[in-house]
Amino acid sequence: MTTNSELFERSSRHIPGGVNSPVRAYGSVGGAPRFIESATGPYVSDAEGTEYVDLVASWGPALLGHAHPEVVAAVQRAAARGLSFGAPTAAEAELAEVISERVTAGGVSPVERVRLVSTGTEATMTAIRLARGVTGRDLLVKFAGHYHGHSDGLLAAAGSGLATLALPGSAGVTAATAAQTIVLPYNDRAAVESVFAEFGGQIAAVITEASAANMGVLPPEPGFNAFLAGTAHTHGALLILDEVLTGFRVGPAGWWGLENAAHPEHAYVPDIITFGKVVGGGMPLAALGGSARVMEHLAPLGPVYQAGTLSGNPLAVAAGLATLRLADASVYAAVDAAANTISTATSAALTEAGVAHRVQRAGSLFSFVFGERFVADAPRGYDEVQGQEAWRYPPFFHSLLADGVALPPSVFEAWFLTAAHDSTAIERVLAALPAAARAAATA
Ligand code: PMP
């Protein structure tokens, strides 16, 4: 048997850091990452044959659990018909219809047209180019701690792996590009107003995670997204709502759908919405959508260029379609129930062990911030969550891992549940929590 450590050494000889995406490294928790052999339902199994209850879910896509038989069968059927054509297929039209139909409120969809791409990074990168093309303006507003993928203009003060590694941005981004991104504190209306007062005529778009979940989970204050839409529109700018992580995960119509239902008084219409993760059912597929007026600026109809050899790949589209067809109300109810049980039990175990913390929730997504000051007051932005007692997380993480539960290897990431987390899997997590909470307490 080859151990995880041996595989990590081998990988590291030819792959920088041994991983093909930095968040997979156990950079902030220490140790060799688990090399996964296979996954089924709520479980992943590593190269050493150890099975873990998986609370990463491929960082979001596995809404139904791993290797759902109907999704696998759909991909197998598609594979048998050919892997890639570089020509349109009927299934792409169908997936675009499904996305548009789902993201509808009161009979109106902000997604009249959809363009399929392969990664969330491409979706947000294209959304920004499109906003610039539509408005003829250069500046972009983003929020500290929000992660929108790794295109140049979006790496300033970004969450996810940059939060874990405490990087302010990325080397290799030109000063000229960085200067076109204005980074503001999240949930801070005055900051948004003042930047629009000063630069309103030059701002192409505001991009925001529908609910922030890449600095740990940190939902927008009620009405904040509607405020962003209103402010952007007053100044002739667009709102790009990034639902790569939340889309089709927190509900059938994503965070936008949840928010519209919970706060109809704060209804708003984003100009472009980006999707990823669940929409591809575990295959490389993402999308952007918007009104016909905006989206028809894209080539071949308009002057904003975007393309992809593998865009709308038939296997990826098959996985996405099968996943969305299966993701009905009962799936979301199951994911919500699993998230409730595990977040409540984790919080109780931490309290029992005397670890001051706060549960951060956005629909079925949740994470924990550690520190006395969060007990009374919820953090509103990146500065505050960066000041947490992050050192409590590595021993907590490793205690759970040793007991067969795989969490995201960073305190700045959301925990992901799936509809396959049944009572057996959940019980295994609950049984492991008290020891993990004690490890966090003595850290
Ligand atoms: N936007 C958000 C909100 C994300 O969470 C991510 C990935 N975690 C991305 C964009 C980038 O997606 P991808 O990793 O597929 O490029």
Token couple for 412: 């700045």
One of 46, 52, 142, 242 is an active-site residue; which one?
242
Do the Cβ atoms of 443 and 394 come closer than 8 Å? yes
Position 323 scores a pLDDT of 98
Phi, psi of 304 (to 5 degrees): -90, 115
Amino acid, res. 331:
V
CA atoms in the 13 A half-sphere facing the CB of 438:
4
Pocket test for ligand 1, best of 162, 209, 277, 415 (most atoms within 8 A of CB): 277
Q: What is the predicted pLDDT for the residue at 89?
A: 98
Nearest-angstrom CA–CA distance, 162 and 103: 30
Separation of CA 303 and ligand 1 centre (Å):
26
- Out of 126, 147, 416, give the residue to mutate to test ligand 1, the one with the largest number of ligand atoms within 8 Å of its CB: 147
Contact in structure between 289 and 103 (CB atoms under 8 Å): yes
- How far does the chain reach from its first CA to its final CA, in angstroms? 33
pLDDT digits (tens, 9 = 90+) for 40-70: 999 999 999 999 999 999 999 999 999 999 9
**Crossing angle between the packed helical segments 314-326 and 90-102, to the nearest 10 degrees:** 40
Compute the distance from residue 120 Cα to the ligand 1 centre, in Å: 5
Task: Ligand 1, residue 23: give the atom nearest the CA.
Answer: 8
Set 26, 43, 52, 147: catalytic member: 147
Distance 312 CA to ligand 1 centre (A): 18
What is the pLDDT at residue 433? 98
pLDDT at 138: 97
Cα 268 from Cα 361, distance rounded (Å): 22
Nearest to 295 by CA among 321, 317, 270: 270
Residue 40, phi then psi, degrees to nearest 5:
-150, 135
* pLDDT of 168: 75
User: Cβ(243) to ligand 1 under 6 A?
Assistant: no
Q: What is the DSSP letter of 221?
A: P
- DSSP class of 371: S
pLDDT averages per 10-residue partition of the chain, 443 residues: 96 97 95 98 98 98 98 98 98 98 92 98 98 98 97 86 80 89 97 97 98 98 98 98 98 96 95 98 98 98 98 98 98 98 98 98 98 96 96 98 98 98 98 98 91
pTM summary value: 0.98
> Looking at 277, 332, 382, 393, which residue is catalytic?
277
Mutation test of ligand 1: which of 23, 24, 116, 121 has the most ligand atoms closer than 8 Å to its C-beta?
Answer: 121
The Cα 336–Cα 397 span in angstroms is 22
Distance CA 418, CA 337 (A): 10
CA 315-21-405 angle, to 5 degrees, is: 90
Ligand 1 centroid to Cα of residue 158, in Å, is 11
For residue 402, the one-letter residue type is A
Phi, psi of 21 (to 5 degrees): -160, 130
120 lines ligand 1 (CB under 6 A): yes
Q: Going by C-beta distance under 8 Å and a sequence separation of 6 or more, which residues neighbour residue 65?
A: 40, 41, 42, 418, 419, 420, 421
- Report all structural domains of the chain as residue ranges with CATH numbers, in order of start: 4-64+328-442 (3.90.1150.10), 69-326 (3.40.640.10)
- Is residue 211 in contact with ligand 1, taking CB distance under 6 Å? no
Cα(70) to centroid of ligand 1, in Å? Answer: 25
State how far the alpha carbon of 30 is from the alpha carbons of 12, 111, 216, in Å.
Answer: 15, 42, 19
211 and 365 Cβ atoms separated by less than 8 Å: yes
Q: Where are the beta strands (DSSP E) in 382-425?
A: 405-406
Confirm if 12 and 18 have CB atoms less than 8 A apart: yes
Backbone phi, psi, residue 281, to 5°: 55, 25
54 CA → ligand 1 middle, Å = 19
Strands in 126-178 per DSSP E: 139-143
Report the alpha-carbon distance of residue 243 to residue 248 in Å, rounded: 8
Structure tokens at 122: 């491409």
Dihedral over alpha carbons 425, 429, 430, 431 (to 10 degrees): 100
Residue 346, ligand 1, Cβ within 6 A:
no
For residue 243, which phi and psi values (nearest 5 degrees)? -110, 25
Q: How many Å apart are CA 250 and CA 416, to the nearest integer?
A: 10
Helix (H, G, I), strand (E, B) or coil at 184: strand
Of 56, 211, 244, the one to substitute when testing ligand 1's pocket (max ligand atoms within 8 A of C-beta) is 244
DSSP conformation letters of 18-43: G-SSGGGS-TTT-SPPP-EEEEEBTE
Per-residue b or e along 125-138, where b marks 16 or more CB atoms closer than 10 Å to that residue's CB: bbbbbbbbbbbebe
Residue 276 Cβ inside 6 Å of ligand 1? The answer reads yes
Cβ of residue 413 lying under 6 Å from some atom of ligand 1: no
Distance 382 CA to ligand 1 centre (A): 18
Cis peptide before 222 (omega within 30 of 0): no
> φ and ψ at 139, to 5 degrees?
-80, 150
- Tell me the three state secondary structure of residue 367: strand
Q: Distance, CA 348 to ligand 1 centroid (Å)?
A: 31
Q: Is 242 among the residues known to form the active site?
A: yes
Please write the tens of the pLDDT for every residue from 382-428.
999 999 999 999 999 999 999 999 999 999 999 999 999 999 999 99
Q: State if residue 119 touches ligand 1 by the CB under 6 angstroms criterion.
A: yes
User: Token pair for residue 110?
Assistant: 């902000």
Q: Is the CB of 121 under 6 A from ligand 1?
A: yes
